């Protein structure tokens, strides 16, 4: 069993999200220390605090408290992120990366708040800075992309365009706030985006897959001065190309975004979910038992999961 250090909390894991980032690690597409326990999108129950943890932390997270953890876990250093090894019965998380989970929210569905929703919120609130009336295109609407649709709707975006290659995902996207859908397998997504926006392009385009093709679609789909926000992780060494003259002359902004701000944003996401503004029940479409974790990632790799899946470890 892992042991918490000062400022860390031992969690009895209840559920862990099935994320494409972990699939990259499994396939060796992203460098990561191995052997390792994957999983970075968890809910669970506080079991123990590390020795020398401060009194305020212990009072904030009493033993027995239900919590949700963010995959970016601040520890007082300039940058800190690691996998908490959430696909296990117990895991250790820095206290600053946790938020209390209210009793009204279930462990299973709430696990996705710590990565899929957290990543989407960071992209929409901080990188894109979505405002009421903005037009938004989300290119690929898996777990993170579909969360972007819900956050865009919550922020008052007008045209919300979902782009994918699977009709099932596009149909589901409508329940998350998409006002238009484009199957880029049979339609030119750039032409359709311009058609929907009166020839301008969208104010904000979000790339949520991490492929050179979708990177290009994202940069081409925005209007003059628009924001192309990249949140999809790619295989190590993947290169995205862009028309330099268009970038310069049309003042296109290309922005990378990697999650949100754990201490400030995760409590906000819990409130959005508790109020129903963010619909967790619709966002989680598959649940697997702990012994089915391998199958969950096989299904993810084969494109069989619409939106997000979770592994229940209870």
Specify whether the backbone of 32 is left (phi greater than 0), alpha (psi in -120 to 50) or beta. beta
Q: Percentage of the chain with pLDDT > 70?
A: 96
- Six-digit token string for 159: 């045209």
Residues 247 and 271 in one domain: no
Residue 122 lies inside a defined structural domain of this protein: no
Residue 180 has pLDDT above 80, yes or no: yes
CA separation, residue 144 to residues 64, 120, 148, 150, 309 (Å): 30, 6, 6, 10, 11
Q: How many domains does the chain have?
A: 2
State whether 251 and 268 are in the same domain. no
Indicate the pLDDT class of residue 79, thresholds 50, 70 and 90.
Answer: very low
Per-residue pLDDT tens digits for 196-239: 999 999 999 999 999 999 999 999 999 999 999 999 999 999 99
pLDDT in tens, 234-274: 999 999 999 999 999 999 999 999 999 999 999 999 999 99
CB-based contacts of 66: which residues, under 8 Å, 6+ apart? 14, 43, 44, 45, 100, 101, 102, 103, 107
- What's the CATH number where 158 sits? 3.40.50.720
Q: Which residue has the tokens 């669970």?
A: 44
- pTM to 2 decimal places: 0.94
- 72 shares its domain with 89: yes
> Is residue 186 a part of any domain in this protein?
yes
Task: Check whether 159 has a pLDDT greater than 70.
Answer: yes
- Structural domain for 184, as ranges: 129-256
Indicate whether 2 belongs to any domain.
no
Mean pLDDT of the chain: 94
Q: Among residues 256, 275, 295, which one ends one of the domains?
A: 256
162 and 156 in contact (C-beta within 8 Å)?
no
Residues 251 and 137 in one domain: yes
Question: Token digits for 119?
Answer: 């990543």
48 in a structural domain: yes
- DSSP structure string for the chain: -----TTEEEEEEEEEE--HHHHHHHTT-S---SS------EEEEEEEEPTT--HHHHHHS-TT-EEEE-SB---SSS--B-----SSSEEEEEGGGEEEPPTTS-HHHHGGGGTHHHHHHIIIIIIS---TT--EEEE--SHHHHHHHHHHHHTT-S-EEEEES-HHHHHHHHHTT-SEEEETTTS-HHHHHHHHTTTS-EEEEEE-S--HHHHHHHHHSEEEEEEEEE----STT------HHHHHHTT-EEEE-----HHHHHHHHHHHHHHTSS-HHHHEEEEEEGGGHHHHHHHHHTT--SSEEEEE--
- Is 124 inside a domain boundary? no
**Separation of CA 1 from chain center:** 28
Last residue of a domain, one of 233, 256, 279: 256
The residues, ordered by sequence, that sit 6+ positions from 260 with a Cβ below 8 Å of its Cβ are 70, 72, 118, 119, 121, 122, 125, 126, 266
CATH of the domain at 109: 3.90.180.10
Same domain, 264 and 252: no
Whether 265 contacts 125, CB under 8 Å: yes
Q: Do 108 and 138 reside in the same domain of the chain?
A: no
The answer as to whether 293 is a domain residue is: yes
Asked, for residue 235, whether it belongs to a domain, the answer is yes
Could you give phi then psi for residue 113, rounded to 5 degrees? Answer: -60, -30
pLDDT at residue 72, as a whole number: 83
- Asked if the model's pLDDT at residue 82 lies above 70, the reply is no
pLDDT, one tens digit per residue, over 49-61 is 999 999 999 999 9
Q: Within this chain, do residues 221 and 186 fall inside the same structural domain, yes or no? A: yes
């Amino acid at each position: 069993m892992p042991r918490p250090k000062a400022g860390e909390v031992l969690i009895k894991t209840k559920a862990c999200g099935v994320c494409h980032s972990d699939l990259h690690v499994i396939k060796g597409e992203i460098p990561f220390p191995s052997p390792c326990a994957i999983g970075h999108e968890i809910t669970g129950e506080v079991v123990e605090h590390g020795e020398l943890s401060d009194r305020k932390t212990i009072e904030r997270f009493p033993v027995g408290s239900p919590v949700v953890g963010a995959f970016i876990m601040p520890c007082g250093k300039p940058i800190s992120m690691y996998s908490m090894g959430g696909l296990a019965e117990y895991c250790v998380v820095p206290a600053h990366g946790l938020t209390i989970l209210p009793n009204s929210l279930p462990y299973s569905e709430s696990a996705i708040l710590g990565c899929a929703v957290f990543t989407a919120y960071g992209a929409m609130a901080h990188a894109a800075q979505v405002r009421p009336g903005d037009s938004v295109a989300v290119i690929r609407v898996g777990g993170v992309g579909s969360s972007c649709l819900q956050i865009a709707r919550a922020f008052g975006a007008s045209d919300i365009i979902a782009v994918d290659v699977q009709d099932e995902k596009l149909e589901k996207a409508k329940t998350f706030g998409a006002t238009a859908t484009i199957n880029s397998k049979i339609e030119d997504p750039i032409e359709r985006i311009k058609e929907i926006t009166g020839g301008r392009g969208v104010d904000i385009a979000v790339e949520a897959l991490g492929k050179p093709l979708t990177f290009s679609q994202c940069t081409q789909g925005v209007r003059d001065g628009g924001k192309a926000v990249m949140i999809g992780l790619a295989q190590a060494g993947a290169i995205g190309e862009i028309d330099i003259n268009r970038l310069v002359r049309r003042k296109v902004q290309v922005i990378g975004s990697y999650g949100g701000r754990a201490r400030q944003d995760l409590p906000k996401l819990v409130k959005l979910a508790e109020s129903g503004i963010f619909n967790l029940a619709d966002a989680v479409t598959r649940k697997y038992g702990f012994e089915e974790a391998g199958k969950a990632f096989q299904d993810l790799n084969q494109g069989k999961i619409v939106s997000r899946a979770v592994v229940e470890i209870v």
